[in-house]
Amino acid sequence: MASLADDGFSAARLFSQGVSYTYDDVIFLPGFIDFPADAVDLSTRLSRRVPLSVPCVASPMDTVSEAAMAAAMASLGGVAVVHSNTEPRAQASIVRAAKSRRLPFVSSLPIFSPASAPTLNDFAGHDYALVTEQGDSLSRLLGVAVAADAASPEAPAPVSEYMRPAPRSASASFDFEQAAAFLADEGLDYAPLVSEEGEVIDLVTSKDVERIRSYPKLGKPSLGADGKFVVAASIGTREDDKRRLEQLIQAGANAIVIDSSQGNSTYQLDMIRYAKKTFPEVDLIGGNVVTIGQAQNLIAAGVDGLRVGMGSGSICTTQEVCAVGRGQ
């Protein structure tokens, strides 16, 4: 009679045969279930000191991970790695924007001054815009402009002629349930989100509340020791990435990912040693790696986590162009 161990391969046996597998090559066999689905614990770690409620990470790509994705991922218990395909100051601004709230979205509303005369196109498809004294997030909030109230594009009127007085502001530190309760208690259709420092962060609306309530239940959010969303950010290995690293840490990035298709290089090892010596309190993730030797070198240099995989992404051409990589 065959033993249970012969019914399929154990993980140890499967992955010790020297064969490179893809996801299509393997499948789990069903087992016996004696627990409810809500008893399943998917919590894990992004790196040595950064916990996650769910094992989901958004890639550092410029079409994927900016402020909106970072806030959404953290609110669901995962994390996004903000891409570095932009100027260091802009990347740091994205990190700050995601960490400045506890709501699972970033609206990126336009901000106007009272004297400005925006056209409907300047609302960029948004129903609302914020109005501050100087037309930036750091000056005093004056009101809210509604796109439907704007003049025709041919003869735009100054915002001051049609803006609505700012309603009572909500704290930018409110989580979703607190923000929803605030709108309901105050009888408001919308409310600006303002930080403790007085910076205008965003606008939450009753439509946002209805939309988010229609989604699957929000899980335990990923929060750092500062009580804010966990947000990671990527850097390269060039000399000017040292300045980028400093700006990202000042912005509050909880982990830094060195973004490279081949992590086992002298350039990355040098960056790892510099980063760990200069900012030992921040977790550093190295990679990418697909061999034991690669992993050992990065671990010896001091990384707190590894990115594993080479050429396995749907749009990655490393294996086809360079004939280098490994099945994921």
pLDDT over threshold 80, residue 4: no
pLDDT over threshold 90, residue 25: no
User: CA 43, CA 203: separation in Å to the nearest integer?
Assistant: 31
Q: In terms of Cα–Cα distance, which of 103, 109, 56, 108 is closest to 232?
A: 56
* Average pLDDT value for residue range 68-93: 94
User: CA 87, CA 142: separation in Å to the nearest integer?
Assistant: 31
If residue 246 lies in a helix (H) or strand (E), which one and from where to where?
helix 241-250
Q: In terms of Cα–Cα distance, which of 14, 9, 55, 15 is closest to 29?
A: 9
Residue pLDDT, tens place only, 172-211: 889 888 999 999 999 999 999 998 888 888 899 999 899 8
Mean residue pLDDT across the chain: 89
* Average pLDDT value for residue range 207-223: 83
Give the pLDDT band (50/70/90) at residue 218. low
Is the dihedral angle over the CA atoms 304, 310, 314, 317 positive or is it negative? positive
- Report the helix count and the strand count for the chain, using DSSP H and E: 9, 15
Q: In terms of Cα–Cα distance, which of 306, 304, 99, 305 is closest to 222?
A: 99
**Residue whose structure tokens are 């790509």:** 61
pLDDT value at residue 253: 96
pLDDT value at residue 151: 66
**Residue whose structure tokens are 């550092």:** 60
**DSSP code for 66:** S
Could you check whether the bond before residue 254 is cis, i.e. omega within 30 degrees of 0? no
User: CA 288, CA 312: separation in Å to the nearest integer?
Assistant: 11
* Average pLDDT value for residue range 69-80: 93
Q: Where are the beta strands (DSSP E) in the chain?
A: 44-47, 50-52, 57-58, 79-82, 111-112, 128-132, 141-146, 164-165, 170-171, 190-194, 200-205, 232-235, 255-258, 283-289, 305-308
Angle at 268 between CA 264 and CA 271, to 5 degrees: 155
Query: Facing residues of 302 across strands?
Result: none
pLDDT over threshold 50, residue 1: no
pLDDT value at residue 201: 87
* Average pLDDT value for residue range 112-124: 89
Residue pLDDT, tens place only, 240-294: 999 999 999 999 999 999 999 899 999 999 999 999 999 999 999 998 999 999 9
Q: In terms of Cα–Cα distance, which of 150, 177, 178, 181 is closest to 163?
A: 150
Residue 199 CB contacts under 8 Å (≥ 6 apart), including other chains: 100, 137, 138, 172
User: For residue 103, which phi and psi values (nearest 5 degrees)?
Assistant: -100, 150
Give the pLDDT band (50/70/90) at residue 22. confident
**Residue whose structure tokens are 């709108």:** 183
Give 159: exposed, middle or buried? Use CB within 10 Å, 0-12, 13-18, 19+.
Answer: buried
Q: In terms of Cα–Cα distance, which of 301, 235, 228, 305 is closest to 266?
A: 301
Q: What token pair was written down for 306?
A: 């590894």
Query: Facing residues of 58 across strands?
Result: 80
Give the pLDDT band (50/70/90) at residue 81. very high
User: For residue 85, which phi and psi values (nearest 5 degrees)?
Assistant: -85, 50
Give 12: exposed, middle or buried? Use CB within 10 Å, 0-12, 13-18, 19+.
Answer: exposed
If residue 315 lies in a helix (H) or strand (E), which one and from where to where?
none
Which residue ranges form the domains of the chain, and what is each CATH number?
A: 40-104+221-322 (3.20.20.70), 111-214 (3.10.580.10)
pTM: 0.83
